[in-house]
Structure 1
Amino acid sequence: MTDASLDLTITRYIAAPPETVYKVWRERTEEWFAPKPWTAKLLEQDLRPGGRSALTMTGPDGVETPPMEGVVLEVIPNRKIVTTDAFSAGWVPQGPFMTAITTFEPEGEGTRYTATARHWTEEAMKQHEEMGFTTGWGQVADQLAALCEAVDA
């Protein structure tokens, strides 16, 4: 049983079918993943269980973050992607912060996009909130929606 009190979630209706949202999520990550004016650089995104997920972000001051590294746990094409930072590639344990659960559910003519950050501890969840989870993840969801809706227009 999961403890939903340790989850932070963003949801958006995107006026494009799940197949479009999933494709843009996968193929155009660098365009939507970082809240502007930040940018994202994808190092690797191997979307299969056990695959490496790694990227960096660069701030408006030009300073690059250390790589955000994890592994893919589950992929259901056009419906769900689950990753965690509890491991790096090759199942090497590292200090866990969260598991990210992203779903693409059909809703009317479009998609209900939901991104959940599931944390191990209340401290990690509160830290993520203080880092600007709601604003940051909300902005990237809006950026993803804009790309998807432009593709599907």
Structure 2
Amino acid sequence: MPVTSVHQDPEALTMTVVADFAAPLERLWDAYADPRQLERFWGPPTYPATFTRHDMYVGGRSAYAMTGPEGDVSRGYWEFLDVKAPFSFEVRDGFAHADGTPNNDLPSMRMTFAFEATPGGSRLTTTTYFASMAELEQLVGMGMEEGMRQAMGQIDDVLADLHTFAADLPAAAQVLSDTQVRVARVIRGSVQQVWDAHHDPKLLQQWLLGPDGWSMPTCETGTEVGQTYRYEWRQDDGGATFGSTGEVLEIAAPHRAVTSERMYGDGIPDDAPATTNELTLTPTDGGTLLSLVITYPDAQTRDIVLGTGMVGGMETSYERLERTVLAG
């Protein structure tokens, strides 16, 4: 059991949990920075979490849902107040409604996570700050301490799983809900380099091509909220042509961009449904974790698109990004 101590301080209105791990500091940090890993332990074993958003930068936000054995769902959010990788981060942790908005009927807490190297690996000290003694007693009474013990008891298995999250793995899709899919991959480059490669037209035209035999003659990007973008691809042999267009909904360079997307062109119906794409870039060991959460109108559309080989095409493009843009 990695938890070595739990201390409640009624005068300071804090609860401090110390846990030790037989893994390097950077490996432990990455477990919290990567939503694929974080959701494997953030929550007790009977209430596993799913993170639909995880923006680990100052001003960023996370959204998660923990689902119980009877299908009951508890939702929460983090607001990142400070991030000093790989040594500490601070969040406002609170409960959320089904639509993701804060549930102010329940208390929120300030939490700090401090990481340090030890002779045997690494240590994590998590301190929770409560607004009042009543809130401390309420949340401890709801099982907060035991829940943290159970959650942290799962971290060792995640840290030991080096293969699943290795930097040399191809892009992979994970179904988050009936309408959402997350595609993730570690790109061998800095956050700024990967961001530029997604927003500089001259760079995009070098790698965002899918299978060999295609070019991208039209590439108009949007870099501010409200701007539109338009991409068009053409087969080199003069065959099919198709494109995508949409609007920039949110942007926080170089970490997060949210856009709408609608496909058009040969073989694509005029009423093809639009999606919302949330791109998040997070520095991790080995490069930059690219996480793309795609929201579809329904499960049927989600499955149809996944069945087209979309993820394989994305992997081909990401390989080209590393080989032709970032390698230079």
TM-score, length-normalised on structure 1? 0.84
Partner secondary structure for residue 116 of structure 2: strand
Write the mapping of 1:8-23 to structure 2, written as runs, cut at 5 A: 8-23=15-30
Structure 1 position 142, deviation (Å): 1.6
Query: Which amino acid in structure 2 is aligned with residue 116 of structure 1?
Result: T
Match of 1:29 in 2: 38
Determine which structure has greater relative contact order: mean sequence separation of CA pairs < 8 Å that are 6+ residues apart, divided by chain length.
1
> Is 2:72 aligned against 1:63?
yes
Correspondent of 2:61 among 46, 52, 59: 52
The Cα offsets for residues 16-57 of structure 1, whole Å up to 9 and x where unpaired, read as 011000111221111111101111010211001110121111
> Is 2:124 aligned against 1:117?
no
> Is 2:152 aligned against 1:141?
yes
Match of 2:118 in 1: 107
Partner secondary structure for residue 16 of structure 2: strand
Partner secondary structure for residue 32 of structure 1: coil
* Contact 2:77 2:102 (C-alpha < 8 Å) held by counterparts: no
Q: Distance in 2 between matches of 1:70 and 1:150?
A: 25
The count of aligned residue pairs is 145
* Contact 2:21 2:120 (C-alpha < 8 Å) held by counterparts: no
Correspondent of 1:75 among 83, 92, 96: 83
Structure 1 position 79, deviation (Å): 1.0
The Cα offsets for residues 67-116 of structure 1, whole Å up to 9 and x where unpaired, read as 31231001111111110047x9xxx9874520111111111131111112
Q: Which has the higher helix share?
A: 1
Query: Which amino acid in structure 1 is aligned with residue 138 of structure 2?
Result: Q
Q: Distance in 2 between matches of 1:118 and 1:146?
A: 28
Structure 1 position 141, deviation (Å): 1.3
Q: Distance in 2 between matches of 1:151 and 1:103?
A: 23
> Is 2:142 aligned against 1:131?
yes
Partner secondary structure for residue 104 of structure 1: strand
Structure 1 position 5, deviation (Å): 2.6
* Contact 1:14 1:149 (C-alpha < 8 Å) held by counterparts: no
Q: Distance in 1 between matches of 2:103 and 2:123?
A: 32
For structure 2, the residue ranges without an aligned partner over 5 or more in a row are 1-9, 164-328
Q: Distance in 2 between matches of 1:30 and 1:46?
A: 14
Query: Which amino acid in structure 2 is aligned with residue 18 of structure 1?
Result: L
Match of 2:109 in 1: 98
Structure 1 position 131, deviation (Å): 1.2
Match of 2:265 in 1: none
Structure 1 position 145, deviation (Å): 2.8
Q: 1:37 to 1:4 in 2, by over 3 A?
A: same
**Identity of paired residues, percent?**
26
Partner secondary structure for residue 123 of structure 2: strand
TM-score, length-normalised on structure 2? 0.41
Match of 2:247 in 1: none
Q: Distance in 2 between matches of 1:4 and 1:19?
A: 34
Structure with max Cα Rg? 2
When the two chains are superposed, the root-mean-square deviation of aligned CA atoms in Å is 2.3
Q: Distance in 1 between matches of 2:52 and 2:161?
A: 26
